Amino acid sequence: MQPERMVIGGSRVDAADGRTLEVRDPADDRVIALVPDGGAEATRAAIDAASDALAGWRRLTARSRAELLRRLASLLRRDRDAIAELMTDEQGKPLAEARGEVEYSASFLDVAAEAGPQFAGEIVPSSTPDRRILVMPEPLGVAAIITPWNFPLAMIARKIAPALAVGCTVVVKPDERTPLCGLRVGELALEAGIPPGVVNVLTGRPQPIGAAILDDPRVRAISFTGSTEVGRMLMAGASRHLARVSLELGGHAPLLVFADADLARAADAAASCKLRNAGQTCICANRILVEAPVAEEFLALLEARIRLHQVGRGRDAGTTIGPLIDDAALEKVERHVADALAKGSRLRLGGARVERPGLARRFFAPTLLDGLDRSMRIWQEETFGPVAAVGRFRDEAEAIAMANDSPYGLAAYFFTRDASRLMRVAEALECGIVGANDALPSTAEAPFGGVKQSGFGREGGRWGLEEFASLKYVSWRI
């Protein structure tokens, strides 16, 4: 098997010592590619390339950069089906979701291409007649983009699009389990005409690459999506050279269903939110809480929807739930279910691995549990699997207290037909994203990000650009 190559300074590059890592299909453990184990040396080379390319890239007009981002978006769309197959092979998600992720990724490039030329400074009225005050946004410089395995393409697009639009150059480090979509981005960026060195893509084990990024004073921004634990380490490391950090970390979304809600709509939304990407999203509902008088009715509706889902290989027609990313992920889901059952939860559906000849033992049946409470691990930790756990609340005050009973604060959802309650609850929820009668809020125009231990920084719309810009104030005496 011919190893893939990293994209550094416009060239295709192997690791200096020739070492490679295997990339495996999580559905059957088949080795689908070899990628360089880049390490510190490749990281320094990528930062060199990004630094060298910076002056030329930031000098381009915002409109020229936007045009190149649009070309990259159209190349992603041109190659949508091939990239989707690659994504399904490296990550496991169903092909339809993978195609959707390619479109979602292209939309981040489109939105940044619109926002870049509008990303203007200000002239502030001065308190003295002989002074003019100019406030000018400028690119921070070289940005390190560190992305997770659950959305191998979209998380890269969501970060590089605003960085490039503002005039930063980037060094991208995709998760070592899913590096192939990232490498395609590097290749397509060159094909789009983005100058060599502006987009560099590294592959390899995270530790040496992360250490080399944190060691280098030329890296002025670090944007990371992943676990809260790694986010903390990066933030501590970034303090050495005071690089700007933007962190999109773990979530633990509550989904509240009030008795006055459209229950069928709430059940549709809860099932899609929970089972998208086999439950492996930072914003999927981990605690579904229903007002007690309608809980039975809601559970029956949710159960009917979950039953429609089909577990299988992402490439097989009809599959809606693929494998979990690795054995550790599956074991965590098993632990969460066993713990909930031991503490009094009632199993309504699923609850076990799905075993098929020829497939890895990494598939978990879509599961519905009733009787969730705060003593259970599901309440305390992100499950990251296809387990819908349902608890009950008495009234609005208790619902809000239960929803906010988490150190995380990425997304929260609620369903109601009462307009006053809608605003009260939206204001009371401690999180960065609220879905009001909506459990699929992700879109490239809106600011995505969290509060509390879900991190800080926003991605999407013009807010995404702000993360990669600093403000220069020019005091002009006339």
- Catalytic residue numbers read 248, 282
> Which one-letter DSSP state was computed for residue 376?
S
Three-state DSSP state, 65: helix
Q: Distance between CA 69 and CA 251 in Å, rounded?
A: 30
Three-state DSSP state, 330: helix
Residue 270 CB, shortest distance to ligand SIN, in Å, is: 16
Which residue lies nearest ligand SIN, judged by its C-beta? 442
Residue 46 CB, shortest distance to ligand SIN, in Å, is: 24
* CB nearer ligand SIN, residue 246 or residue 281: 281
Count of beta carbons in the 10 Å neighbourhood of residue 17? 9
Residue 97 CB, shortest distance to ligand SIN, in Å, is: 11
Contacts of 242 (CB under 8 A, 6+ apart): none
* CB nearer ligand SIN, residue 165 or residue 283: 283
Amino acid at 259: A
Residue 283 CB, shortest distance to ligand SIN, in Å, is: 5
Amino acid at 477: R
Residue 159 CB, shortest distance to ligand SIN, in Å, is: 11
Q: Distance between CA 303 and CA 163 in Å, rounded?
A: 43
Residue 280 CB, shortest distance to ligand SIN, in Å, is: 8
Contact 178, 9 (CB under 8 A): no
* CB nearer ligand SIN, residue 6 or residue 387: 387
Query: What would the two tokens of residue 363 be?
Result: 């598939």
* CB nearer ligand SIN, residue 88 or residue 105: 105
Amino acid at 70: R
* CB nearer ligand SIN, residue 89 or residue 459: 459
Listing DSSP states for 83-97 in one string gives HHHHHHHHH---HHH
Burial of 28 (0-12, 13-18, 19+ CB in 10 A): middle
Q: Distance between CA 291 and CA 267 in Å, rounded?
A: 13
Contact 303, 270 (CB under 8 A): no
Give the number of C-alpha atoms closer than 13 A to the C-alpha of residue 65, restricted to the C-beta side.
31
* CB nearer ligand SIN, residue 108 or residue 298: 108
* CB nearer ligand SIN, residue 209 or residue 283: 283
Beta strands of 176-230 (E only): which ranges?
199-201, 219-225
In whole angstroms, how far apart are CA 339 and each of 159, 372, 377, 403? Answer: 37, 11, 7, 21
In whole angstroms, how far apart are CA 97 and each of 93, 196, 206, 472? Answer: 6, 31, 27, 42
* CB nearer ligand SIN, residue 112 or residue 154: 154
Contact 467, 160 (CB under 8 A): no
In whole angstroms, how far apart are CA 433 and each of 277, 402, 464? Answer: 19, 17, 15
Q: Distance between CA 256 and CA 261 in Å, rounded?
A: 10
Of 408, 289, 388, the closest CA to residue 336 belongs to 388
Residue 93 CB, shortest distance to ligand SIN, in Å, is: 12
Residue 224 CB, shortest distance to ligand SIN, in Å, is: 11
Of 161, 179, 250, the closest CA to residue 35 belongs to 179
For CA atoms 392, 394, 397, 398, the dihedral sign is negative
Residue 227 CB, shortest distance to ligand SIN, in Å, is: 11
Residue ranges binding ligand SIN (CB under 6 A): 150-151, 154, 225, 248, 281-283, 442
Q: Distance between CA 385 and CA 337 in Å, rounded?
A: 10
